[in-house]
Structures are given as C-alpha cells and as structure tokens.
A = this chain, B = another copy of it.
Amino acid sequence: MSSMTKGMQSISFQEQPYLISSGSVVGKKEGEGPLGARFDMIDDTDQFGEKTWEAAESTMQKEACLMAIGKAGLKPQDIRYIYGGDLLRQGIATSMGVEALQIPMFGLFGACSTSGEALALSAMSVAAGYGDRILAVTSSHFGSAEKEFRFPLGYANQRPLSAQWTVTGSGAFLVGNQKSNIRISGVTIGKIVDYGLKDSQNMGACMAPAACDTVIQNFEDFGRNGEEYDHIITGDLGYVGTDILLDLVKKKGKDISAQHLDCGKLIYDQDSQDTHAGGSGCGCAATTLSAYVLPKIAAGEWKRILFVPTGALMSTVSYNEGESVPGIAHAVVLEHC
C-alpha cells in the first residue's frame, strides 16, 4: 500500500498521486476580476453558446474537463474515472456536462466543498491503483444558482451585504500517477458541523465552523501548525465567513491569520465589483485553485498549501421548512515536488 490512514479523519499519501493538469472556465464578471488574465477561458456572455443557464453550466464543465485533459496531451478515453458535482438539484450540470466524455462517473454532492471531495476521492483512487488518470470537476453558475437557491434573475431581488456572489465558472483537475510538480500528499475528510444558523443569505457564517473543524483536525491528524503551510486557502467563506473562521480557530488556541487566504475574497475586487461578501459556489474554489494557486505551487513559489473548500448543506426545501444550514469542509494538502 502506498497510503495510510492518519489520525481520526485523514489519509496520508506517499509520493503519488500527482496533480497533472487543470482547466478553468469562467464568465464575464470573473474575467473582469483580479484573476481575470489567469483563467483558461472566458465567455463574456455567460451563456457558453447555450439557451439556458443550466446548459451553460454543463458546457462549462465539459470545456474545463477537455481543457485539463488536453493540456496533458490526452483524450477522454485515457481517463479511467471522473468524480464530479455541482450545486444544482440532482447534480444536472455534471450529469449533462460530462455525458459527452463517456468516462465512467461518480456523481458527488458536497455543496461548495465538492471540489475538495472530488480531489480527495481522485487522489485516493489513484493512490490505491484504481486508475492511472482520474478527473475531478465542479462548477457553479450565477444564473442557475440564483434561480435554484434564491430567485430567478428577472425578479431582481435586493441582496443583503452578507450575501455572496455565485461564481460562474468550472474547474477540472487531472490527478494521476505520472510525475508532475504538484503532488497531493494528504486529505482530511470533514464531518457535518451545524451551529444552527438559518440564513441562506449568509453562507459564509454557516460554513466557517466546518472550515475551523476540518483545519484543526488536519493539524491534529498530521501533527502540524499553521506555520507549516505557506497558505491555508478556504473555498468561499468570503469576508464575513473569513472573520468568523479566524476567530473560531483562535478560540481553539491556533492562529492562521498570517497564512489564510479565501478564494471568495481573491476572485472579485470588492471595491469595484459590487459582490458584497465575496464570491461563492463550487466554481469559486475550483477556478481559483486552477488559475491562481496551482501555478504558484508548480513554480515552487509556494511549497505546501492546505486547500479547504467549504460547503453549506441546504436546499430551498430544507430552508423553507425551517431547517438550519449545516456546513462541511474537506481539506487537501498540495505540495511542490
């Protein structure tokens, strides 16, 4: 076995698996943001040639997958399995998006933590010898997500300042046993953490306790402190959730304020882009990881990163029935090699 359990919730991998290539596809607003020049593909119409937001999101997933596969000089038939998910009911963006690739598929749902779940399962599968090349993909789309969780765009509802802006984007990651400059050295699988919050317009607050739980567990399982990571990068806590996370971690006797970054804060310019508490969605962490984080690890600028996408486990039905919004976060350790 090339891998082993570590502590209560983690797995540690020796040498492989490697993160071989990735692809990022985004919409107009993301293209206009601080990371705009780094994305692989931008569609200024947000439609990606399709008639519905859902079909547009599916096409983004397909394009991101083809991008990651193509960068590695491979074809879809070279990929053994795909792990994918999105935010829409019954994961239709993934089902419709990856259908054309005809790769045996595991459908996932972990809300905005799905990119962590998909990367973890891809790494676990490659390390176990279940495939030489496995693809992880997630996406979100502002139009489809607003319609799913809040209101259709045409309703033009007003957004509170705690609300986040769902990223229109998809990121795909090719994980394999072929040497690259980035290896996945471990994962920490999160538990569901529920502080009883019920505000669907304040996802950052709902997810921050789960992020804290997973980060602290990662430290315990691997015997590390924040200083042993160049950065600890959460998925989409945004401005509100980040403050809560840093406070919660301090209460546990740790301080990660020097290392912490959040994709929801990185992807938009808060002053000029009117995105309130920052970016969110499955596509936020995935596209930021692909376009911004991975190149820095590959170049050796960052040696070890803890990537922690966070998810708010809710649906319109659970929300309307008065249920709270529990959170979950999965952590993936990425290292330069």
Asked if A316 contacts B99 (CB within 8 A), the reply is no
Chain A interface residue count, CB cutoff 8 Å, equals 59
Contacts of A88 in B (CB 8 A): 315, 317
Query: Which of A33-41, A106-114, A223-231, A270-278 faces chain B?
Result: A106-114
Closest to A100 in B: B192
Contacts of A207 in B (CB 8 A): none
A256 at the interface (CB under 8 A from B): no
Decide: A189 near B105, CB < 8 A? Known: A96-B318, A317-B92, A318-B92: yes
Closest to A321 in B: B52
Decide: A107 near B117, CB < 8 A? Known: A55-B321, A130-B11: yes
Q: How far is the CA of A326 from the CA of B130 in the complex (A)?
A: 26
Within 8 A of B (CB), among A118-132: 121, 124-125, 127-131
Query: Which of A2-10, A22-30, A240-248, A288-296 faces chain B?
Result: A2-10
A175 at the interface (CB under 8 A from B): no
Q: How far is the CA of A192 from the CA of B93 in the complex (A)?
A: 13
Contacts of A137 in B (CB 8 A): none
A63 at the interface (CB under 8 A from B): no
Q: How far is the CA of A304 from the CA of B11 in the complex (A)?
A: 32
A323 at the interface (CB under 8 A from B): yes
Asked if B192 contacts A102 (CB within 8 A), the reply is yes
Closest to A144 in B: B317
A259 at the interface (CB under 8 A from B): no
Q: How far is the CA of A316 from the CA of B121 in the complex (A)?
A: 28
Contacts of A55 in B (CB 8 A): 321, 323
Q: How far is the CA of A83 from the CA of B48 in the complex (A)?
A: 33
Contacts of A92 in B (CB 8 A): 313-315, 317-318, 323
Within 8 A of B (CB), among A30-62: 52, 54-55
Contacts of A130 in B (CB 8 A): 3, 5, 11, 124, 128
Decide: A111 near B124, CB < 8 A? Known: A106-B117, A191-B103: no
Q: Quote the shortest CB–CB distance from A96 to chain B (angstroms).
A: 6
Q: Quote the shortest CB–CB distance from A215 to chain B (angstroms).
A: 14
Within 8 A of B (CB), among A281-328: 313-318, 321, 323, 326, 328
A104 at the interface (CB under 8 A from B): yes
Encode contact with B along A49-85: 1 for CB under 8 Å, 0 otherwise: 0001011000000000000000000000000110001
A201 at the interface (CB under 8 A from B): no
Closest to A192 in B: B99
Contacts of A323 in B (CB 8 A): 54-55, 92, 96
Asked if A54 contacts B317 (CB within 8 A), the reply is yes
Asked if B191 contacts A104 (CB within 8 A), the reply is yes
Q: Quote the shortest CB–CB distance from A99 to chain B (angstroms).
A: 4
Q: How far is the CA of A117 from the CA of B104 in the complex (A)?
A: 11
Q: Quote the shortest CB–CB distance from A147 to chain B (angstroms).
A: 8
Contacts of A316 in B (CB 8 A): 89
